[in-house]
Amino acid sequence: MNGAESLLRTLVGSGVEVCFGNPGTSEMHFVAAFDRVEGMRVVLGLFEGAVTGMADGYGRMAEKPAATLLHLGPGLANGLANLHNARRAGTPIVNIVGDHATYHARYDAPLASDVHGFARPVSAWVYSSASAQTVATDGALAVQAALQYPGQIATLILPADTAWLEADRPAPALPKPMPAIAAAEAIDQAAGALRAGRKTMILIRGAALKELGLNAAGRVAAATGARIACDTFAPRCQRGTGRVEVERIPYFAEQIVEFMNGTEQLILVGARPPVSFFAYPNKPSWCTPKDCKILYLAHPNEDGTVALEALADAVKAPKQPLHVGIARKPEIPNGPLNSLTAGQVIAHYLPNGAIISDEGATAGGGVHRFAAYIEPHDHLALTGGAIGQGIPVATGAAVACPDRKVVCLHGDGGAMYTLQALWTKAREALDITTVIFANRSYAILNIELARVGAGDPGPKAFSMLDLHNPELDWVKLASGMGIEASRATSVEEFATQFESAMKQASPRVIEAVV
Ligand SMILES: Cc1ncc(C[n+]2csc(CCOP(=O)(O)OP(=O)(O)O)c2C)c(N)n1
């Protein structure tokens, strides 16, 4: 077998089942190996930003890495923004990046580039294979690096000759790294702080935002009255009826300050103290009250769920958690189609077990206020602020969870960054309904323009934030990529279209004109 095949067999043997990719000449031996090796599903993305975002969505839901296949430095560079988002999410991903053959590098051919340089800022692990005989072992190490808890990005650079030259064999899978267990002192300190009776907030991020961790947090709340919160942009949060409700930190600095007001103790579980997304003149960056005591119950590399369960026992919490969401679905509203009414419709029809990939921006937030009272679902947020994540993340999530409905909520501005992933949804026949909120604007930037105090903006400045001329036709864009699509301009139309989309199992796009 050649190096490419030894690497592919190693990835499969290490539990990697899906490769999202966009290949070129230097990756052809790896591509050719796909038909010789059982067990790797291959998913083509038509732009690398779509490829890396899909790997992120897959990893968040499958809790194991997908591979990406990217074409030298420029291919990787096209995928960087969504690798940045994935790094923020703590998603495990193994990037396989092709490169020129080792002996070809000295000729500085057009595609020669500093692949390490592109990879380093987003990768916790980067390595360029030196020989076809070692590439398999390098692959096993890459998977192990990606699985370092809670998950990280490993980039393996594969020079073309290491792929095509003769290899010996695949490498055996390496042990899966496990999360560390939080120190007993951390549990004691948090329990002691809670017993002191001061106003406490427990801020959670990571796997502890799934049912088990939330249940333990709800028990702590029942015993102590502590508030339970999550970041504005948590990678994954389980919400809905029967689950413990989490307060979501608001977006703007002054709202966060108000939200945190009165908090005397902040207990962090895989999270960091909340800060403002951006700095603004005369507004705070640090949003935790000055004299608030900060305690780390579990660091991101530690098992937050186990720590919360130990804390619940330490404070002698009852079995029954507080703040359990009770079914209270909103009715279909009247009035114009906007963020709130669209949110009500989505909340009303969202099926049990749905996955929401949320890049709804200013228009997508309506569903949040109902999150605890509707069907149980997973919510995936835009973690690193680099827009263009939602459509690919939805696509990857649907590959990971073929039996669940995926609903993607997206601003029209962000959607244009990686709309190529719509084509992949059609090709793979994925059960995803994508709602594009067509406000024909970079609406959030209009708000930010006023907030940053940039003087007196004129027509040129406003034109940089406006998408009216020409108007994007999402029905044509989506149907041009093989997806059934419709446009809704009223609540009635949106409700009818969304309801029917929830009943079908094929990809759908709804342009919601808000
Ligand atoms: C990669 C990247 N480029 C640019 C931006 C700046 N940016 C932030 S929000 C935004 C526009 C979002 O528009 P849309 O998705 O339509 O949502 P809306 O604000 O209209 O609700 C832009 C361009 C960004 N966050 N990330």
What DSSP assignment string belongs to 181-200?
Answer: PPPHHHHHHHHHHHHTT--E
pLDDT at 455: 85
Over residues 337-349, the mean pLDDT reads 98
With beta carbons less than 8 A apart as the criterion, state whether 201 and 41 touch: no
Among the listed residues 205, 179, 195, 431, the one whose alpha carbon sits nearest the alpha carbon of residue 306 = 179
Mode of pairing for the β-strands spanning 200-204 and 41-44 = unpaired
Q: What is the pLDDT of residues 4-32, one digit of tens each?
A: 999 999 999 999 999 999 999 999 999 99
Q: What is the CA(368)–ligand 1 centre distance, in A? A: 20
Q: Please report the atom of ligand 1 found closest to the CA of residue 437.
A: 16
CB 361 less than 6 A from any atom of ligand 1: yes
Report CA torsion sign: 44, 49, 52, 56. negative
Interval 267-284: pLDDT, tens: 999 999 999 999 998 899
Ligand 1 mutation pick, 82, 442, 449, max ligand atoms within 8 A of CB: 442
Residue 414 — pLDDT band, cuts 50, 70, 90?
very high
pLDDT over 90, % of the chain: 98
* Number of other residues whose CB lies within 10 A of the CB of residue 352: 12
Question: What digits encode the pLDDT tens for the residues 100-147?
Answer: 999 999 999 999 999 999 999 999 999 999 999 999 999 999 999 999
The predicted model gives 490-511 an average pLDDT of 98
**What is the average per-residue pLDDT within 287-294?**
97
User: What pLDDT score was predicted for residue 459?
Assistant: 95
d(CA 186, CA 76): 40
Cis peptide leading into residue 507 (ω within 30°): no
Atom of ligand 1 nearest to the CA of 361: 21
> For residue 81, which atom of ligand 1 is closest to its CA?
1
Decide: helix, strand or coil at residue 21: strand
pLDDT tens sequence across 186-214: 999 999 999 999 999 999 999 999 999 99
pLDDT in tens, 153-196: 999 999 999 999 999 999 999 999 999 999 999 999 999 999 99
Q: Does ligand 1 come within 6 angstroms of the Cβ of 362?
A: yes
Name the strand (E) or helix (H) holding 395. helix 390-400
411 lines ligand 1 (CB under 6 A): yes
pLDDT band at 466 (very low <50, low <70, confident <90, very high): very high
- Ligand 1 atom at minimal distance to the Cα of residue 447: 19
What is the residue-wise DSSP string for 252-311?
SHHHHHHHHTT--EEEEES----B-SS--TTS-SB-S-TT-EEEEEE-TTB-HHHHHHHH
Helix (H) or strand (E) holding 56: helix 48-62
- Angle between helices 3-13 and 135-146 in degrees, nearest 10: 30
Cβ contacts of 470 within 8 Å, gap of 6 or more: none
Tell me the pLDDT tens digit for each residue of 65-87: 999 999 999 999 999 999 999 99
What mean pLDDT is predicted for residues 246-258?
Answer: 96
Q: How many residues does the chain have?
A: 514
- pLDDT confidence bin for 453, thresholds 50/70/90: confident
Q: Whose CA is nearest to atom 16 of ligand 1?
A: 413
Q: How many Å apart are CA 425 and CA 405, to the nearest integer?
A: 13
The residue whose CA has the least distance to atom 18 of ligand 1 is 443
pTM over 0.85: yes
Distance in angstroms (rounded) separating the CA atoms of residues 436 and 416? 10
Planar angle of CA 61, 383, 232, nearest 5 degrees: 105
pLDDT value at residue 343: 98
Burial class from Cβ neighbours inside 10 Å (0-12, 13-18, 19+) for residue 277 reads: middle
If you average pLDDT over every residue of the chain, what do you get? Answer: 97
By percentage, how much of the chain surpasses pLDDT 70? 100
